[in-house]
């Protein structure tokens, strides 16, 4: 005779289905970046698709594509595609090292109409109403949905990727200043010990998380009471895994900072942030300029 589930396990079972629905909706706005490593396709990060002021963007962590933008691509079956557009990334800090960039944001405005049309067929671009700009959150349950490199396999010309929907929560106490962070800019999440996922609600060891940089962190709100696909809100972009005093944390740059970065970098007609009062300056690459240089170098014509 089957045993009756304990209250905690029963609660986890109740949570699993709506969290899976939220995860599926999140994946409709999450894209994976690849590059070629030793002759094989390898994962290098994730990104989130959104539309603001009538323009279309993919946002990610700067270190995912900074310095190697033209080596990265996405897969729009059956093709590997380098997304065309204008890329802006947060400027390097005083050290000149990207690893010291604690904001670590990049945004590519998509300008190729045929690519954009294909992306719109396959994905959902988040609108401003789907982004959380409030410092207050409805729940302590957060979802980070990205594509760990450990769950990406390339063989016989085929690529198989498995997203990982990580459930986590804010740390109780954290010395932001000591780590060069600020609570108005960052969210710091507990990442120590066993974790839960939307696909495995029982505590388990997490996979290696390299590759989830650039993915979104989501506030799932009252997902047990309402439609979990609509309840979710993007609260930030995952940028880094921190290890301090033998404890692990997940570092996230808030959506309020992302929006102000986009407004400043692309001149968007969206509200000025009331909490982010710094110049987020950015470096810039243009796909068309690079394409022309490559054509000249190869003795061909840009297309």
Domains in the chain with CATH codes: 7-298 (2.40.10.10)
Written as tens digits, the pLDDT of the chain (303 aa) is 344 443 344 445 556 778 888 899 999 999 999 988 777 888 889 999 999 999 999 999 999 988 777 789 999 888 889 999 999 999 888 888 888 888 999 999 999 999 999 999 999 999 999 999 876 665 666 889 999 888 888 777 678 888 888 888 888 778 888 888 988 899 998 877 666 666 666 676 766 777 789 999 999 877 767 888 888 899 999 998 888 888 888 999 999 999 999 999 999 999 888 777 667 766 665 545 544 555 555 554 332
Contact (CB, 8 A) for 143 and 163: no
Distance, in Å, from the CA atom of 28 to the CA atom of 126, rounded to the nearest integer, reads 9
Contact (CB, 8 A) for 143 and 198: yes
**Angular region, 232: left φ>0, alpha ψ -120 to 50, beta rest:** beta
Q: What is the pTM (predicted TM-score) of this model?
A: 0.86
Distance, in Å, from the CA atom of 14 to the CA atom of 263, rounded to the nearest integer, reads 40
């Amino acid at each position: 005779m089957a045993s009756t589930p304990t209250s905690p396990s029963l609660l986890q079972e109740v949570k699993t289905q709506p969290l899976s629905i939220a995860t599926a909706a999140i994946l409709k706005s999450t894209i994976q970046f690849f590059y070629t490593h030793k002759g094989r396709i390898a994962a290098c990060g994730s990104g989130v698709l959104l539309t603001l002021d009538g323009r279309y963007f993919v946002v990610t962590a700067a270190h995912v594509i900074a310095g190697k933008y033209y080596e990265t691509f996405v897969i729009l079956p059956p093709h590997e595609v380098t997304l065309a557009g204008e890329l802006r990334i947060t400027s390097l800090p005083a050290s000149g090292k990207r690893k010291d960039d604690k904001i670590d944001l990049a945004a590519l405005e998509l300008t190729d109409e045929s690519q954009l049309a294909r992306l719109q067929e396959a994905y959902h671009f988040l609108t401003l109403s789907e982004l959380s700009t409030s410092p207050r959150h409805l729940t302590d349950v957060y979802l980070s949905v990205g594509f760990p490199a450990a769950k990406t396999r390339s063989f016989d010309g085929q690529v198989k990727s498995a997203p990982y929907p990580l459930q986590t929560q804010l740390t109780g106490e954290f010395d932001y200043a000591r780590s060069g962070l600020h609570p108005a800019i960052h969210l710091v999440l507990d990442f120590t010990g066993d974790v839960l996922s939307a696909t495995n609600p029982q505590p388990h060891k997490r996979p290696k998380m390299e590759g989830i940089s650039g993915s979104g962190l989501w506030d799932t709100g009252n997902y047990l009471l309402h439609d979990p696909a609509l309840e979710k809100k993007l609260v930030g972009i995952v940028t880094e895994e921190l290890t301090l005093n033998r404890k692990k944390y997940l570092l996230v740059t808030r959506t309020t900072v992302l929006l102000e970065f986009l407004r400043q970098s692309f001149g968007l007609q969206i509200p000025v942030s009331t909490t982010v009062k710094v110049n987020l300056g950015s470096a810039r690459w243009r796909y068309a300029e690079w394409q022309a240089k490559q054509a000249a170098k190869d003795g061909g014509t840009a297309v």
